[in-house]
Amino acid sequence: MYDWLLTGTHRLTATADYYCAATTGPFTVTVFCQPPTGAVIQGPGTLVPGLAGTHTAHTQPITASPPLTFTWDNGVVGATAVYSWSVPGTQAVTVTVTNRCGQAAGLHPVRVLAVWPYSFYLPLLRHDKP
Protein backbone atom coordinates (compact mmCIF):
# COMPACT_ATOMS: atom_id res chain seq x y z
CA MET A 1 0.00 0.00 0.00
CA TYR A 2 1.30 3.46 -0.89
CA ASP A 3 0.35 6.83 0.54
CA TRP A 4 1.64 10.10 -0.90
CA LEU A 5 1.40 13.41 0.93
CA LEU A 6 2.52 15.39 -2.12
CA THR A 7 0.35 15.88 -5.18
CA GLY A 8 1.67 15.09 -8.63
CA THR A 9 2.50 12.08 -10.78
CA HIS A 10 4.30 9.17 -9.17
CA ARG A 11 5.82 6.21 -11.01
CA LEU A 12 5.89 2.70 -9.61
CA THR A 13 7.31 -0.54 -10.86
CA ALA A 14 5.15 -3.55 -10.25
CA THR A 15 6.46 -7.11 -10.25
CA ALA A 16 4.27 -10.18 -10.56
CA ASP A 17 5.76 -13.55 -9.61
CA TYR A 18 4.25 -16.88 -10.59
CA TYR A 19 6.08 -20.10 -9.69
CA CYS A 20 8.97 -20.07 -12.19
CA ALA A 21 8.35 -16.78 -14.01
CA ALA A 22 8.19 -13.10 -13.18
CA THR A 23 7.22 -9.98 -15.07
CA THR A 24 7.88 -6.33 -14.27
CA GLY A 25 6.12 -3.25 -15.60
CA PRO A 26 5.72 0.47 -14.93
CA PHE A 27 2.63 1.98 -13.32
CA THR A 28 1.78 5.68 -13.03
CA VAL A 29 -0.34 7.18 -10.24
CA THR A 30 -1.62 10.77 -10.25
CA VAL A 31 -2.24 12.16 -6.78
CA PHE A 32 -4.35 15.28 -6.41
CA CYS A 33 -5.99 17.13 -3.57
CA GLN A 34 -9.30 18.95 -4.01
CA PRO A 35 -9.89 21.61 -1.36
CA PRO A 36 -13.34 22.37 0.02
CA THR A 37 -14.92 25.53 -1.39
CA GLY A 38 -17.72 25.84 1.18
CA ALA A 39 -19.95 24.05 3.64
CA VAL A 40 -23.73 23.64 3.59
CA ILE A 41 -25.46 23.49 6.97
CA GLN A 42 -28.82 21.78 7.37
CA GLY A 43 -30.87 22.28 10.51
CA PRO A 44 -33.73 24.24 12.00
CA GLY A 45 -33.99 27.87 10.96
CA THR A 46 -36.28 28.74 13.87
CA LEU A 47 -36.09 27.76 17.54
CA VAL A 48 -37.40 29.04 20.88
CA PRO A 49 -35.21 29.68 23.95
CA GLY A 50 -34.08 26.44 25.56
CA LEU A 51 -35.08 24.23 22.61
CA ALA A 52 -32.07 22.43 21.09
CA GLY A 53 -31.64 21.98 17.35
CA THR A 54 -29.29 19.56 15.60
CA HIS A 55 -27.34 20.91 12.63
CA THR A 56 -25.47 18.82 10.05
CA ALA A 57 -22.70 20.02 7.71
CA HIS A 58 -21.86 18.83 4.20
CA THR A 59 -18.79 19.92 2.26
CA GLN A 60 -18.88 21.66 -1.08
CA PRO A 61 -17.95 20.15 -3.46
CA ILE A 62 -18.86 16.65 -2.39
CA THR A 63 -15.67 15.47 -4.11
CA ALA A 64 -13.37 17.39 -1.73
CA SER A 65 -10.46 15.16 -0.78
CA PRO A 66 -10.75 13.26 2.50
CA PRO A 67 -10.08 13.27 5.35
CA LEU A 68 -12.35 16.22 6.17
CA THR A 69 -12.61 17.87 9.58
CA PHE A 70 -15.70 19.89 10.57
CA THR A 71 -15.20 22.40 13.40
CA TRP A 72 -18.25 24.28 14.69
CA ASP A 73 -18.17 27.71 16.31
CA ASN A 74 -19.38 26.16 19.59
CA GLY A 75 -16.24 23.99 19.74
CA VAL A 76 -17.77 20.70 18.54
CA VAL A 77 -15.70 18.70 16.05
CA GLY A 78 -17.66 16.41 13.74
CA ALA A 79 -20.33 16.51 11.05
CA THR A 80 -23.16 17.40 13.50
CA ALA A 81 -23.56 19.85 16.36
CA VAL A 82 -26.41 20.74 18.72
CA TYR A 83 -27.26 24.39 19.44
CA SER A 84 -29.68 26.16 21.77
CA TRP A 85 -29.96 29.73 22.98
CA SER A 86 -31.49 31.23 26.11
CA VAL A 87 -32.71 34.55 24.67
CA PRO A 88 -34.66 35.53 21.54
CA GLY A 89 -32.87 37.10 18.59
CA THR A 90 -31.10 36.19 15.37
CA GLN A 91 -28.15 33.83 15.80
CA ALA A 92 -25.66 32.34 13.35
CA VAL A 93 -24.37 28.78 13.25
CA THR A 94 -20.99 28.53 11.52
CA VAL A 95 -18.80 25.58 10.61
CA THR A 96 -15.32 25.35 9.12
CA VAL A 97 -14.39 22.36 6.96
CA THR A 98 -10.71 21.55 6.54
CA ASN A 99 -8.64 19.03 4.61
CA ARG A 100 -4.91 18.91 3.94
CA CYS A 101 -5.16 21.22 0.93
CA GLY A 102 -7.61 23.89 2.04
CA GLN A 103 -10.29 25.28 4.28
CA ALA A 104 -13.77 26.79 3.79
CA ALA A 105 -16.70 27.85 5.95
CA GLY A 106 -20.48 27.80 5.98
CA LEU A 107 -23.08 29.88 7.81
CA HIS A 108 -26.70 29.14 8.75
CA PRO A 109 -28.93 31.82 10.35
CA VAL A 110 -31.29 30.78 13.16
CA ARG A 111 -34.14 32.92 14.46
CA VAL A 112 -34.79 32.39 18.16
CA LEU A 113 -38.40 33.41 18.83
CA ALA A 114 -39.81 34.32 22.25
CA VAL A 115 -42.71 31.88 21.67
CA TRP A 116 -43.88 29.68 18.83
CA PRO A 117 -46.11 31.67 16.49
CA TYR A 118 -48.43 28.70 15.95
CA SER A 119 -50.71 26.75 18.23
CA PHE A 120 -52.14 23.35 17.57
CA TYR A 121 -55.73 22.58 18.45
CA LEU A 122 -57.49 19.27 18.37
CA PRO A 123 -60.91 19.28 16.74
CA LEU A 124 -63.95 18.90 18.96
CA LEU A 125 -65.92 15.77 18.25
CA ARG A 126 -69.59 15.61 18.76
CA HIS A 127 -71.44 12.39 18.84
CA ASP A 128 -75.24 12.52 18.91
CA LYS A 129 -77.19 9.39 19.61
CA PRO A 130 -80.57 9.23 17.91
Spatial distance between the Cα atoms of 57 and 40, rounded to a whole number of angstroms: 6
Answer yes or no: is pLDDT of 111 > 70.
yes
CATH of the domain spanning 38-112: 2.60.40.10
Q: Do the beta carbons of residue 112 and residue 48 sit within 8 Å?
A: yes
Answer yes or no: is pLDDT of 68 > 80.
yes
Which pLDDT value is given to residue 26?
86
Answer yes or no: is pLDDT of 116 > 80.
no
Mean pLDDT of the chain: 88
Domain chopping of the chain, boundaries: 38-112
